[in-house]
Amino acid sequence: MIKVGVVGLGWMGRVHLRNYTEMADVEVVGVVDVDATAREEVAAQFGVKTYATLDELLENDLDAMSVCVPTSLHHETGLKIIEKKINLIIEKPLAATAAEGEELVKKAAEMGISLMVGHVERFNPAVQRVKELLGDDVISIQIERVGPYPPRIQDVGVIKDLGSHDIDLIRYLTGSEFKSVYAVSSTTLGKHEDSALITAEMENGILANITTNWVTPYKGRKINVACESKYIQANLITQEVKEYSAFSTYDKSYSVREWPLMFREPVKEELNQFLGALRNGTEVPITGKDGLEVLKTFERIFECAE
C-alpha cells in the first residue's frame, strides 16, 4: 500500500486526487489547500482527510505526494516535501526559474528520493503512437497548442503554461536537446504573454516550431511531423493519428493510414508509472533533470522574445 497526499486542490489537483482514489493499493492520507471551500468539497466527494497547511499533512507517514499548487509555489512546496524524504511528482513546469528547478533536483538527489515532473502529454496515446512511428529520417516537427484565456492561471504566461508541454515533447520526440531557439511573443489580455511563436533547431538537425496562444476561442492540440519517408498528423484531444506515405511523383498520389488507438486518460497513466517506478525502485519516466531542461529553454526563449 502506497500512502499518498495531494497539495493544491485546483483543477489538476482534483484530477490527481480522483485518480489516486480509483487505484488499488493506494491510500490517500490527506490533501492540502488554503481554500476551506475546496477542502469541504473534496472531503464530501472523496471522503479524504483535509488540511489547511502543508506542515500539518507532513506530520503523517507518506510515501509520495503530488504537488499541484501554482508554479510560483513549486520551489517552496517541493523543498519542504523533499526535506521529509518523501517522493514527489510536481506538475509542470518544475519551478518558476531554472535556478529554483536546479535546487529542487539537487536536493532530491541528496536526499535519495524520486522527483518526477508532470509533463502529462508524454502519456497521451497519440503522442506514444507518434513516437513509435518516427524513424531516423525526421525533418521537422510542428506543434499547435491554442485555446481561450484561462482565468485560473494567474502567475505565468502562455509559454510556461501551455508551451512547457511542447518544449518537453520536442525533446522527447526528437531524442535531442535544443541547439538554437528563437521566439516572439505578445501580450494583449493580461499581464503575461498570451501569444507566442517558437522556432528551434535541435542538436541532431531536426527543425521544430511551436504555435501557442490564449486568444483562440477553441482548444487545439495538434502535432505534424515531416519525415523523408512519411508525414504524420496527430490530434492530441481526440487521440487520432494519421500516417501519410511520401508523395509519388510517378502516379501523383499518396496513401493514408489511420492508426486506431484505445482512449486512455493521460494523468492516470502518468500516476501509474510514477507509483510503478517507486514500487520497482526504478527511475521515474520524466525526471527532475528533464523538467530542468525545459526551464533552461524557457530562459533562452524569454531572452530572445524580449
Domain with residues 2-118+268-285, CATH architecture = 3-Layer(aba) Sandwich (3.40)
304 pLDDT band, cuts 50/70/90, is confident
CA–CA gap between residue 99 and residue 113 (Å, rounded): 20
Q: What is the mean pLDDT of residues 199-204?
A: 98
pLDDT at 274 over 80: yes
Instruction: Please check the confidence at residue 181 and state whether its pLDDT lies above 80.
Output: yes
> Is 3.30.360.10 the CATH classification of the domain at 121-265+296-305?
yes
CA distance 131 to 174: 9
Per-residue pLDDT at 303: 87
pLDDT of residue 306: 65
State the pLDDT at residue 79.
98
Under the banding of pLDDT at 50, 70 and 90, the label for residue 251 is confident
The confidence band for 253, taking pLDDT boundaries of 50, 70 and 90, is confident
Q: Closest Cα partner for 152 from 252, 42, 58, 68?
A: 68
Q: What's the rounded mean pLDDT across residues 198-222?
A: 97
pLDDT of the residue at 305:
63
Q: Average pLDDT for residues 36-64, to the nearest whole number?
A: 97
Those residues whose C-beta lies under 8 Å from the C-beta of residue 242, and which sit 6 or more positions away, are 232, 233, 234, 256, 257, 258, 259
Residue of 122, 118, 120, 99 lying closest to 287 (CA atoms): 118
| pTM score of the predicted model | 0.92
- On the question of pLDDT at 156 being above 90, the answer is no
Helix (H, G, I), strand (E, B) or coil at 18: helix
Collapse the DSSP code of 138 into the 3-class scheme (helix H, G, I; strand E, B; otherwise coil) and give the result.
strand
Domain 121-265+296-305 in the same topology as domain 2-118+268-285: no
Residue that the C-alpha cell 533533470 belongs to: 289
Query: How many other CB atoms are found less than 10 A from the CB of residue 277?
Result: 16
Give the rounded percent of residues in the chain with a pLDDT score beyond 70. Answer: 99
Domain ranges of the chain: 2-118+268-285, 121-265+296-305
- Cα–Cα distance for residue pair 231/241, rounded to 1 Å: 11
Summarised one tens digit per residue, pLDDT across range 59-99 is 999 999 999 999 999 999 999 999 999 999 999 999 999 99
Whether pLDDT at 152 is above 80: no
DSSP secondary structure code for residue 33 in this structure: -
Cell numbers for 195: 501569444
Give the three cell numbers for residue 177. Answer: 536537446
Cis peptide before 93 (omega within 30 of 0): yes
- Which whole number is the average pLDDT over 130-141? 97
Please state the separation of Cα 267 from the chain's center in Å.
10
- The pLDDT confidence band at residue 292, using thresholds 50, 70 and 90, is very high
Cα(306)–Cα(299) distance, integer angstroms: 11
